Amino acid sequence: MSVALVTGSAGLIGSEAARHFAGLGLDVVGIDNDLRRYFFGDDGSTAWSLLRLTNDLGERYTHFDTDIRDRDGLEQVFKKYGADLAVVIHTAGQPSHDWSAKEPLVDFDVNAVGTVNVLEHTRAHCPEAAFINCSTNKVYGDRPNQLPLRELETRYEIASDHPYHDGITEDMSVDGCLHSPFGVSKLAADVMVQEYGRYFGLRTANFRCGTLTGPAHSAAELHGFLAYLMRCVMEGRTYNLYGYKGKMVRDAIHSHDVLTAFEAFFRAPRTAEVYNLGGGRFSNTSHLEAFRIAEQITGRAAKVNYVDQHRVGDHQWWISGMAKFQAHYPDWRHSYDVPAILREIHEANADVWVPRIGSD
């Protein structure tokens, strides 16, 4: 029996990981205690996702309502499956800059200490398993904001002859810049994942992700950029747009494309690898451009409250450089760009995100 263990299994990437690896023929063990509800309120709860996941996968899925900060609880799960665990996909975490500043101790315990807990139980009980960590581009802090950007009509952009024009690569420094408590906790986890590869010989990879998105996202204001933007347009909510004239650029990668990248690593794992993973030049947008696409899809005007002050540590421009990953796994390809992502989010939520009374 081959088993995939997924932490954060009711979240966007976690739930898609459970479905994807079940589709490959593995039994799936999920760990998720809906801590997103604590972080973001009812909008961020993943209870609906867990219900759908258990219905979809049936006996192929076993759920544990375990907190990754609970070492003893995690040990019971890992001991139960032991060497049958073929892959550990760690997606659980606190994902918001803003929230981390409110409760930095909780943020660090979840993101950094929780990751060490999962790593250590992997080393103790299934050291041959591939270990995939869902890291973030925020490990680079606000270093990308030092790039020589120029302002265009709807976005900021970098010169075509700049080394990072095709995307920021893994050689960008993480030192001497502002990270936010979230960026620090994720960087600590990221480095520890590398260390368990180099020092202990585990087959580990950090995927430093750009904007992760897809129809399974629990869209909340503090996390879930494209899904929340589409939700606001569909429901007639006012979207609070922070700084940079709405021209800040994000690359966005669909959960399907994330999971095919994870599968590629699972099938041919390496040791202590670090990959930037995002939409790259194939799939990126500014906020202004995303609003225009959402308005075209819905036929509704966006309601935007512009706040001149940008969020602390927010990236003015981020496009992931994918050259290293694509060199290691040349058969992998993007399949969703931003318009396709937004259309799918709209279609998946057409009966749920309906205009509020008095929203027009």
Residue type present at position 337: D
The CATH number for 3-348, chosen from 3.40.50.2300, 3.40.109.10, 1.10.10.10, 3.40.50.720, is 3.40.50.720
> What residues contact 309, with CB distance under 8 A and at least 6 apart?
242, 243
Average pLDDT of the segment spanning 200-215: 94
Please name which of 81, 87, 82 lies closest in space to residue 20, comparing C-alpha atoms. 87
What's the confidence (pLDDT) of residue 50? 95
Rounded distance between C-alpha atoms, residue 60 and residue 64, angstroms? 14
**Per-residue model confidence (pLDDT) at position 219:** 66
Q: How far apart are CA 152 and CA 353, in angstroms?
A: 33
User: Looking at the predicted structure, is the pLDDT value of residue 254 above 70?
Assistant: yes
Cα 178 to chain centroid distance, Å, stands at 20
pLDDT recorded at residue 97: 83
Cβ(324)–Cβ(276) below 8 Å: yes
* pLDDT at residue 274 tops 80: yes
CB-CB contact of 323 with 169 (8 Å)? yes
Q: What would the DSSP string read from start to end of 273-300?
A: EEEEES-TTTSEEEHHHHHHHHHHHHS-
Residue 330's closest CA among 253, 252, 261? 261
For residue 360, is pLDDT > 60? Answer: no
Q: Give tens-digit pLDDT for 277-300.
A: 999 999 999 999 999 999 999 999
Reported as a single tens digit per residue, the pLDDT across 132-171 is: 999 999 999 999 999 999 999 999 999 999 999 999 999 9
The confidence score (pLDDT) of residue 222 equals 60
Farthest CA pair distance, the chain: 59
pLDDT at 98: 85
How does pLDDT run across 76-88, given as a tens digit for each residue?
999 999 999 999 9
Rounded mean pLDDT, 315-340 = 97
Kindly report the pTM of this predicted structure.
0.93
pLDDT of residue 232: 96
The pLDDT value given to residue 16: 95
User: How big is the chain by its Cα radius of gyration, in Å?
Assistant: 19
Which residues are registered as beta bridge partners of 208? 135, 276
Contact 158, 147 (CB under 8 A): yes
pLDDT above 90 for 2:
yes
- The pLDDT score that the predictor gives to residue 183 is 95
Name the residue ranges covered by the structural domains of the chain.
3-348
* Cα–Cα separations (whole angstroms), residue 163 to 147, 178, 321: 11, 23, 10
Which residue, chain included where needed, has tokens 């001991």? 79
- Indicate if the pLDDT at residue 351 is higher than 80: yes
- pLDDT of res. 42: 86
CA 308 to chain centre: 26
Residue 66, by phi and psi: left (phi above 0), alpha (psi -120 to 50) or beta? beta
